[in-house]
Amino acid sequence: MEYRIEKDSMGEMKVPADRYWAAQTQRSLENFQIGGELMPREITQAFGMLKKAAAIANNKLGKLSQEKLDPIIKACDEVIEGKLNDHFPLVVWQTGSGTQSNMNANEVIANRGNEIAGSKLLHPNDDINMSQSSNDTFPTAMHIAAAISIEDQLIPQMQEFITTLKRLEAENEDVVKSGRTHLQDATPIKFSQEISGWRNMIEKALDMIQLSLPGLKELALGGTAVGTGLNAPKEFGIEVAAAVSAVTGKSFITAENKFHSLTAKDELVFAHGALKALAANLMKIANDIRWLASGPRCGLGEIFIPENEPGSSIMPGKVNPTQCEAITMAAVQVMANDVAVGIAASQGNFELNVYMPVGIYNFLQSVRLLATGLKSFHDNCVAGIRADREKMKHNLHNSLMLVTALNPYIGYDNAAKTAKKAHQENISLREACVSLGFLTAEKFDEVFKPEEMV
């Protein structure tokens, strides 16, 4: 491999000749060989966006020449498009401020910009990092990446999921089945009503996630090192937020209090709490579905779900609810990530949080898991759910909890006696009630109508 020599304030470093990064990136690459988890590409893209926006703002405020702006914009666009991903090699487990990833972006954009310009025009610190600090750029990248990933990846999948559940509700409006509480038989419910509970769980989670977005759309840029805005023009925060909005097509604003935005990560905690709520709801829905589909002969067997692949290496013909298992595992990971995000946010010492990379790594993993997990669960399972109407009818009419309908006519205690007799003697509720003398057969038939109990 061929190398070139790059310099920083600490001296010279050998850097691969075919890479745009420079000395500070190389030092991080060599000093933090931990784990192997790369800084999320959503962060790389967000850095391209914010560096482009910063250059536009600095140009507007008279600090950066048009000659320098043009190659910076072109280089940033390549970062945003993912064309330069191979030039962002740093792992998550580095400095807690994300300084080295900020410098990685500065160096790559400067060197690629110089290549575009055909001269040594741009300096990583003086031009690409102009009016900025790692301490306000990394939290800004976090918020940009979090907001975009939620709006562009997760929310569309949630909306599609809701639409499908609405379809299933309409298709099953006339299906009455046995309800269940504590995994025991309960009073009747429409299958459409059961599905509506699932739908509203996703809708509520969506409301909570959307409620968290305004906080994520506040940007720390303009605070520089400790929140005072040292070395940045007075209007930089406002102008750069407007530029980020133009670059992303989304409405970002400058944070009102930069001292807060550098040291606190509570907006991320709040937003991830909503993601955890979605994960919890998906866990519940997936468990309901695999219980209802259990069998095919020795379980509940009240619904059919798509049969996607063989389920056993030893039992021929076995098919398992694998999509339910996949989404529940993803939900477990999201719930675990919430712990990491919360602990990371608690480590804001004085003017700066120094657990930012681990916080955003877990946050973005949660969004990816939920978005892709929802799509897989939807496409390969939920969209293909069908009710086994005969099995639901059979279970409904064999449920002892239908005796609840008799409470107004024979009282709770007598209804309990009826249910116990029917269970112990394996006879119908009708037979038990009549034999105990609580109702005549004719009166029982008149008041006992399971389909009207919903």
Which of 312, 346, 423, 435 is an active site residue? 312
428 given a catalytic annotation:
no
277 — phi, psi (to 5°)? -60, -40
- Cα 101 to chain centroid distance, Å, stands at 23
* Contact between 322 and 333 (Cβ < 8 Å): no
Span between the terminal Cα atoms of the chain, in Å? 74
Pairwise CA distance, residues 269 & 143, whole Å:
12
- The residue type of 330 is A
Q: Is 28 a catalytic residue?
A: no
**Residue 165: closest CA among 198, 204, 206, 201:** 198
Could you give the residue numbers annotated as active site? 182, 312
